[in-house]
Structure 1
Amino acid sequence: MEPATLVDLFAASAERHPERIALDVRDTALTYRQLDTAAARMAAVVVRRLPDRPARIGLLAARSLTTYAGYLAALRLGAAVVPLNPSFPAGRLRAIADMTDLDLIVVDEHATARAGELAAAQSADGTDGRKLPPLVTFTDAEAAGAVAEDVQPAPVVRVSPQDVAYILYTSGSTGRPRGVPIRHARVVPTLRWLVDYNAFTPESRVSQNVEISFDVAVFELFAAWASGGALVVPRPNDVVRPAPYVNAKRVTHWFCVPSVGGIAARTGGLAPDSMPSLKVVLFGGERLLAEQAEQWAAAAPGARLWNLYGPTEVAIVCSGQDLGGKGSLLAAGTNGTLPIGEVPPHLEHVVLDDEGEPAETGELCVRGVQRFDGYLDPADDVGRFVDWSPGRAAVVHDGTAPLTQDLWYRTGDRVRRENGALVHLGRLDHQVKLRGHRIELGEVDAALARHPAVRDAVAVVQEHESDAELVAYYTGEAVSQSDLTAFLRARLPVYMIPRRFTHLQKLPLNANGKVDRTAFAAGPHSAAQAG
């Protein structure tokens, strides 16, 4: 029987390749047999702490043995995994824990201080917090399997493909994060397609470059484990200086957020021919420029380059493009970015214009087996889906009718078909992608406006050649940069904190009386003039 859940994918490889390396992290390597045993014993410890089978388990961990054994342990118990990034403010983590109604939180030994803050924190969104669930901390030694001998491994709980595999939180325009539950049945087809598409085999050594709170991490973990390959976990500094790590660990598959790769290029980390072991370089998370692809092709002359695209709500990736390799790279689209390619045949897609009619240029809408079943809070579904069929204009979902699989998910991304492939043209709303992170500018606005000295605030992204930065403008009393930064650090992840803050007497408005974000494109001077 073909594996139908994430834990089935791992289990099948553990049965076929028990002595192959499954995980290489912090200079410790575990075989599939060892990692399977570690996850089973961790699951047994979790079971002892709870009266009933858990439905949702938080994972407060990053780049440790506990991270990966804990992920598998939660799935083994039939629970949905809810990643809690230790770098996030305690208030935000507490809000996520409260909104998700967690049964238990697994903590690695490197996040114990954050766990203590979490226990004392109130939700950053101002909601009344529920009682924090039990916290269970594992050292790296325990995660490696050195649990007390009297702990018998917990058996795998049989789950349905329709059960939720994981819940990720994305930035929300209302000022609070949005929960995105993804069922096993939604993500397994993505993985099957990508494993074949990108040539993953038992010989593959796959980098795990992004934090597990980012959906691409699910791809990295289970593309490696579904194929019987090894998951190798670099430190954050290795991701921006890849060559020494890639060569030392003989990495074959590397995922790269283009702007992070740009940092590597500017610091001399992408020297020509510096990474001969790479067979595949995968890009995603933001626009990819021809110059960025060429730098990687030169540094990894034996690699094929692929551009992947997809929102969290459509199970990680819903289109891809083979870009070629050194000396044979695909040409950029008319806007200077590399195409995001084709939607796979197991999904349906349509491009709709502003009138809800099919068009060559417009919003990409997707439905099919990978499309999620709605946000954790149904109120977030309003406006995010559309009812469309050939011959009639689209109708936006307003929440009054049931959310069915016939509805199309509105990605919010504007695309155009060029030479048979989709090219990403930008967003239709105030959501941005910055260094691979999805940011709703409205959430930054709302957080900054909570400062007692700030009356109104607006965050924008300003682009500079191949890089971009998040900046903010505000009215009210003038406040120091350090004060505003410290205020936001207690409420937002670091990647959502603007690099610069500019005080204005008033914000520029458009003809409809709304803040004119376009007035900020040229910087503070143009914004002040428009205001």
Structure 2
Amino acid sequence: MISSAYLRSHQAPAPRTLYDIFLQTATTFPEVAAIDDGTVITYHELSERVHAGAQQLHAAGVGPGSRIGVRMASGHSELYIAILSILAAGAAYVPVDADDPDERAELVFGEADIQGFYNDHGFHSLQEADPITAAVPALEDTAWIIFTSGSTGKPKGVAVSHRSAAAFVDAESQLFLQDAPLGPDDRVLAGLSVAFDASCEEMWLAWAHGACLVPAPRSLVRSGMDLGPWLIRRDITVVSTVPTLAGLWPTEALESVRLLILGGEACSTELVEKLSASEREVWNTYGPTEATVVACAALLSPHRPVSIGFPLAGWDLAVVDAQGAPVKNGEIGELVIGGVGLARYLDPQKDAEKYTAELGWSRAYRSGDHVKLTEEGLIFVGRVDDQVKIGGRRIELGEVDAHLAALPNVRQSTVVVQKTGAGDSVLVGYLSLTDETLEFDHHHARNVLSNAMPAALVPRLCVLAELPTTTSGKVDKRALPWPIHSDVTAVGLTDTERWLAKIWVDVLGMDVSDANADFFSLSGSSLAAATLIGRIRERVPTIAVRDLYDHPRLGALAQRVESIHAAPALQETPVQLVSARARAVQGLVQLAAVTLISLQWIACLLLINNIAASAGISWARHAPWPLVFVFLAFVTPVGRLLVGGYAARLLTHGIMPGSYPRAGRTHLRVWAAERIANVSGSRSIAGATWVNYYARILGARVGNGVNLHAIPPVTGLLTLEDNCSIEPEVDLSGYWVDAQHIHIGAIHVGKNARIGARSVLMPGAVIGNNAHVEAGSTVTGDKPVKANARWSGSPAHKVGRSKHRFPDTPPPRRPHWVLIYGASSLFLAALPLCAVGLGGAAMIAAVQSSGADPFLGLLSAAPAGTLIAFALYGLCIWILVRLLSLRLTPGVAPVRSATGWRVWFIQRLMDDARTYLFPLYAAQLTSLWFRSLGATVGKDVEISTSVMVPAFVDIRDGSFLADDTLIGGYELGGGWMLAGATKIGKRSFVGNSGIAGPLRKLAKNSLVAVLSSTPKKSKAGSNWWGSPPERMRRVTITTDASENSTYKPLLQLRILRGFIETLRLLAPITSGVLATIVLATLQIVLISLGIGAAILLGGVVLIVAGITALLITAGMKWLCVGRHRSGDHPLWSWFVWLNELQDTFVEVVAAPWFFNHTLGTGSLNIGLRVLGAKIGKGAWIETYWLPETDLCRIGAGATIGPGVVAQTHLFQDRVMSLDSLILQPGATLAAHSVALPASKLANGATIGPGSLVMRGDQVPAHTRWQGNPIEPWNPS
């Protein structure tokens, strides 16, 4: 309920116009002074001149409905005579300050569509019109149109009717000086610009009471000290002004003033104490232009809270929360205004947006101001958009400003949020001094402020002679100087420290006091860190972002900078573009590879035909069963492995370790072998019996008892000695590509050695016997990993001796498990085909029963058939995982055992599920999906495309698992497997491609960075990066997102998100329709031209289908999000949901039909350009993971390796932050690396494999870097 004290619309003054008020006063006080600008004009004289002015306007065709501009110098009576003449003629006046630039005057007058204007030379008509007879304004005619600043920079015109304006004048008459009302003996200062609506208060305080208006030149009002004698000399008794100007005036200047009205901006208690006097009323007023000058007011007195009081008679006020419901006493909310004073915008669309029906009122205005509701009146808190978040703390600028105003010797103050060189927000306090002869003590002021508020919120201080003001007298925040030139004044700094301190000041916008200043304690963010390092690299090119995290203090960083040796001369190399000849060769290989894929379609089609023909379906054609079996054998996983393996072996025969030209003969042979291997489906056999044989076919040397759970290299340059273990997703390719060369080398893994999941073994890597490379590491090959050593990190380095986590004795030999693993891999490959087959069977049955045209019938049934296949596959996954998880216990078991096989099989199922059930991931249902599979999942958990063994995972409330995270899993060693529980604490975050291995516990409110591992144990609130995980400084991101848009959404948001996520099913449906069209097209070719023609044309059909899939995806992308732009979006927002929808089309439609077959080719570049990426000529790109394509700029001849993610967004604290990513010409981002938003690789810069480029990192031209995070790299 709203208190009746705030509802006074029923007490509105009797309706009348401003002209009615003026005529009444002029009649009552004809010989009393009305205006005194040095020459006194009485009300009778003023009335005659106003009448004459109105007649002149009528003669020019000006009357009710007309708008007349006013741009005249202040301080003289002609200005006010012009305004009254316009009102008397029935027109509206449109004021512009005489000091405003011509451009603004033209803009305002143009927007208002004025019929003429007044300037210092009189009235000027802008259009010819017939004279009109005498007319007076009506109640609903517009009295004035005043333009206020707009958030877009374009001013907003606000029109106030005579009814509202007169009600305001009459309501104020009921407020002020009730014991001794205003009258002919009062003299009112006219010191405000008439372009400011508070000037209306000045004028009508005089003209409604028979008082005299005394104009003052604006320059005099602003001067402060000079105004005092003038006010005394002119006998001013009434002043209406803004606190900023009042603060400039000496107290003796107000000795004769008995009514002082403040408004327009927040008023401090210190100012009240300064201005109060026993014989003077000091009022604090509040009101936006949109509600006619003043909506509420409070009589102020010293030593009491500064209030804006209660509404004027005729106005209604309410304080509401974010949902629009009235708040309780003592609570803060947004002020909503209703009643007789509501104005209107000239822009109808803006008017409908801002003036709405709320709280049962027919019309209400949301002020955008926060106030506190109390029984003693409203307390102004600040603008809604002035409530900022710095260092993770929400703060009102008015609160900080109050502390500044309380500093000794401060006359004026204001606080604004400025952007640093790093793009971070920083508070800056601007001050002017009461006594400029006294030096301002910055150090003391900072100490005082530090005792009053958190250190991170203490603003940087800037002392000015005067704070700039707008025409309304308010502080002009846009005119405040920024950036502030600052000399580092701290004593005792070395030259290097002083040089660094100057950069710190530029980047952070914070003063640096001494060598112990800590970058992150001064609110340094990850983006600021990268910006700082980028600046330092101008002198020290090889410094890394890690150096700042390791040496955050100014003195320590200076020592680190001094210890870095001068970088060698950089060798610039010309940008090499992929030649047209190479592209032509690639085109032929693409056609061959896609034709090979089409054989799988033809084989399935032959099988469908034979089964359908046996069922008597008319359109089916029977093929000889031996031919069908030959085709099926050729396209089964085993058959494809044999064909793909031997084809790759033939293509790479004779290739030796070395460096070869990029896109040259050798490189194209390796690339072609990779494409053939991709077609062979080798991914599905990782960890199974077949993979060891496949590796040997490729030329690798594989010993006995090897557990190979990764894909062997097509070059065959791999040696795996007895009983070594390679965990899932290890990169064994043995080559990498930069802008100039492909670097090829052999890999050797010794006996009983262990290679952790998602590690990268670069060319030349040698792993000694019994050595252990931990998960997520990158072994460069520059140094061998010695026997019994444990290496970790990127680049990997020795961290100790190999741990004995597995039994020393070999596991028992169980040959039957070899067959079980082999059969399981075939089952995994067949499972999605079976689901699709059952969906297709349902389609065929439905068409047959309906008697419809076969093609049209199948096409119309394709959506339902696709959904059936999708549901059947999901059901199979669910049943298998649940069954295999029964009584599954963590611990160590032989790989070839029931436990080992079940863990491996479950993880393979879950890995495949995120591909075939992609629409189900990164959705509200994902948590429910994993919970139903056996995982412990808390409330409000967000899970993207994670891989895990559900039974071993515990994810607590509010946690977030980003894309491609590996949670739990298993470790291998000597024929044994370790599987254990993994726990993710409450509200913790695991970044993209992060790893939380078995037996890991991540404490609550912790963060694991992109491409990083989780420690075994962690403290609450800790951050980790790299592998092995290193503690990272906790940097809280700054965001204005509320809990309702991040962690605690409203029900309506959940429903809306669920609706958008349901639309993701359109992606598999689209893919299903395309598959139906492809099969139908091949069927027509098969029937019309025979099997030979189908084989020859199959590749062409798939290429056309791929282009169609790309165009459909592009259409969805532009429909959902248009062009991606830098910015922040909370999780529970339309942008995030629609972005995920378009990404589903990328992964489910464009990837399988187009991108997967075009990696490394010009076709991929074209496809990415269609989606919005800017890609230069001759770039070599082997990934389509550019999530926000419009934000990616890839220069000519640049190289992006396989498995790379151009990570243009981050999702910390459930806010999606987007920024651009740039690779300039000739730059390289090598295999399995990730570049974060706002990063930039300059010309010819090289990032080696398995690396992380931090957010905002600027990599210098022609330098080489590698690591997680990157550091200088000089490969041997």
TM-score normalized by the length of structure 2: 0.30
For structure 2, which runs of at least 5 residues remain unmatched after alignment? 1-12, 389-396, 406-411, 423-467, 485-505, 509-526, 529-1036, 1042-1125, 1130-1254, 1257-1276
| Secondary structure of residue in 2 paired with 1:421 | coil
Change (3 A) 1:186 1:431: farther
Q: Is residue 203 of structure 1 aligned with residue 214 of structure 2? A: no
C-alpha distance after superposition, 1:356-410 (max 9, x if no partner)? 11103201101111111x31011223542343337xxxxxxxxxxxxxx712110
| Secondary structure of residue in 1 paired with 2:317 | strand
| Secondary structure of residue in 2 paired with 1:277 | coil
Change (3 A) 1:474 1:37: farther
Alignment of 1:130-149 (within 5 A): 133=126
Residue aligning to 1:350: 318
Q: Take 1:417 and 1:330, find their aligned partners in 2: how far apart are those partners?
A: 20
Question: For residue 236 of structure 2, what is the amino acid of its counterpart?
Answer: V
Cα distance, 1:351 vs structure 2: 0.7
| Secondary structure of residue in 2 paired with 1:86 | coil
Q: Is residue 426 of structure 1 aligned with residue 382 of structure 2? A: yes
Change (3 A) 1:3 1:22: farther
Q: Take 1:365 and 1:212, find their aligned partners in 2: how far apart are those partners?
A: 26
Cα distance, 1:80 vs structure 2: 0.4
Cα distance, 1:502 vs structure 2: 2.4
Residue aligning to 1:467: 413
Q: Is residue 174 of structure 1 aligned with residue 184 of structure 2? A: no
Q: Take 1:230 and 1:377, find their aligned partners in 2: how far apart are those partners?
A: 36
Residue aligning to 2:201: 219
| Secondary structure of residue in 1 paired with 2:239 | strand
Q: Take 1:296 and 1:188, find their aligned partners in 2: how far apart are those partners?
A: 29
Change (3 A) 1:422 1:469: closer
Change (3 A) 1:19 1:3: farther
Residue aligning to 1:19: 31
Indicate conservation of the 8 Å contact 1:471/1:498, yes or no. Answer: no
Question: Which of 330, 341, 349 does residue 379 from structure 1 map onto?
Answer: 349
Aligned residues: 408
Cα distance, 1:45 vs structure 2: 3.3
| Secondary structure of residue in 2 paired with 1:23 | strand
Stretch moving more, 92-101 or 240-249: 240-249
Question: Which of 77, 82, 85 does residue 94 from structure 2 map onto?
Answer: 82
Question: Which of 480, 492, 502 does residue 499 from structure 1 map onto?
Answer: 480
Indicate conservation of the 8 Å contact 1:76/1:155, yes or no. Answer: no
CA radius of gyration, larger in: 2
Cα distance, 1:170 vs structure 2: 0.4
Indicate conservation of the 8 Å contact 1:47/1:53, yes or no. Answer: no
TM-score normalized by the length of structure 1: 0.69
Indicate conservation of the 8 Å contact 1:167/1:180, yes or no. Answer: yes
Indicate conservation of the 8 Å contact 2:65/2:141, yes or no. Answer: no
C-alpha distance after superposition, 1:411-443 (max 9, x if no partner)? 1111112342100000112699xxxxxxxxxxx
Change (3 A) 1:505 1:331: closer
For structure 1, which runs of at least 5 residues remain unmatched after alignment? 116-131, 136-153, 333-337, 391-404, 433-459, 477-488, 517-529
Question: For residue 370 of structure 1, what is the amino acid of its counterpart?
Answer: G
Indicate conservation of the 8 Å contact 2:35/2:213, yes or no. Answer: yes
Indicate conservation of the 8 Å contact 1:62/1:211, yes or no. Answer: no
Higher relative contact order (CA 8 A, sep 6+): 1
Cα distance, 1:66 vs structure 2: 1.9
Question: Which of 52, 64, 70 does residue 59 from structure 1 map onto?
Answer: 70
Change (3 A) 1:470 1:187: same
Question: Which of 31, 52, 57 does residue 42 from structure 2 map onto?
Answer: 31
Residue aligning to 2:138: 160
Change (3 A) 1:29 1:389: same
Indicate conservation of the 8 Å contact 1:304/1:322, yes or no. Answer: yes
Cα distance, 1:279 vs structure 2: 1.1
| Secondary structure of residue in 1 paired with 2:35 | strand
Residue aligning to 2:990: none
Residue aligning to 2:703: none
C-alpha distance after superposition, 1:280-324 (max 9, x if no partner)? 1111111111110111125xx521111111111111111011114
Question: For residue 251 of structure 1, what is the amino acid of its counterpart?
Answer: I
Residue aligning to 2:297: 320
| Secondary structure of residue in 1 paired with 2:285 | strand
Percent identical: 27
| Secondary structure of residue in 2 paired with 1:429 | helix
Indicate conservation of the 8 Å contact 2:64/2:137, yes or no. Answer: no
Question: Which of 227, 230, 234 does residue 212 from structure 2 map onto?
Answer: 230
Q: Take 1:51 and 1:71, find their aligned partners in 2: how far apart are those partners?
A: 13
Q: Take 1:330 and 1:345, find their aligned partners in 2: how far apart are those partners?
A: 27
Alignment of 1:359-438 (within 5 A): 359=327, 360-372=331-343, 374-389=344-359, 406-429=362-385
Q: Take 1:51 and 1:376, find their aligned partners in 2: how far apart are those partners?
A: 19
Residue aligning to 2:542: none
Residue aligning to 1:194: 172
Question: Which of 274, 278, 281 does residue 304 from structure 1 map onto?
Answer: 281
Q: Take 1:168 and 1:363, find their aligned partners in 2: how far apart are those partners?
A: 24
Cα distance, 1:204 vs structure 2: 1.9
Change (3 A) 1:49 1:347: closer
Question: Which of 275, 278, 287 does residue 254 from structure 2 map onto?
Answer: 275
Indicate conservation of the 8 Å contact 1:470/1:498, yes or no. Answer: no
Question: Which of 75, 100, 106 does residue 94 from structure 1 map onto?
Answer: 106
Change (3 A) 1:388 1:245: same
Question: For residue 279 of structure 1, what is the amino acid of its counterpart?
Answer: R
Cα distance, 1:44 vs structure 2: 3.2
| Secondary structure of residue in 2 paired with 1:502 | coil
Indicate conservation of the 8 Å contact 2:193/2:218, yes or no. Answer: no
Q: Report the structure, 1 or 2, having the larger helix content.
A: 2
Question: Which of 277, 287, 304 does residue 331 from structure 1 map onto?
Answer: 304
| Secondary structure of residue in 2 paired with 1:221 | helix
Q: Take 2:228 and 2:356, find their aligned partners in 1: how far apart are those partners?
A: 45
Question: Which of 49, 57, 60 does residue 46 from structure 1 map onto?
Answer: 57
Indicate conservation of the 8 Å contact 1:474/1:501, yes or no. Answer: no
Change (3 A) 1:307 1:505: closer
RMSD over aligned Cα atoms: 3.5
Question: For residue 113 of structure 2, what is the amino acid of its counterpart?
Answer: D
Q: Take 2:228 and 2:238, find their aligned partners in 1: how far apart are those partners?
A: 13
Q: Take 1:39 and 1:515, find their aligned partners in 2: how far apart are those partners?
A: 56
Q: Take 1:510 and 1:194, find their aligned partners in 2: how far apart are those partners?
A: 43
| Secondary structure of residue in 1 paired with 2:385 | coil
Cα distance, 1:330 vs structure 2: 5.4
Q: Take 1:313 and 1:52, find their aligned partners in 2: how far apart are those partners?
A: 24
Change (3 A) 1:190 1:156: farther
Indicate conservation of the 8 Å contact 1:276/1:302, yes or no. Answer: no
Question: For residue 467 of structure 1, what is the amino acid of its counterpart?
Answer: S
Q: Take 2:206 and 2:143, find their aligned partners in 1: how far apart are those partners?
A: 17
Indicate conservation of the 8 Å contact 1:470/1:500, yes or no. Answer: no
Q: Take 1:70 and 1:311, find their aligned partners in 2: how far apart are those partners?
A: 25
Cα distance, 1:470 vs structure 2: 6.0
Q: Take 1:24 and 1:330, find their aligned partners in 2: how far apart are those partners?
A: 37
Cα distance, 1:53 vs structure 2: 6.8
Cα distance, 1:471 vs structure 2: 7.6
Change (3 A) 1:237 1:87: closer
| Secondary structure of residue in 2 paired with 1:250 | coil
Q: Take 1:344 and 1:53, find their aligned partners in 2: how far apart are those partners?
A: 28
| Secondary structure of residue in 1 paired with 2:167 | helix
Cα distance, 1:345 vs structure 2: 4.1
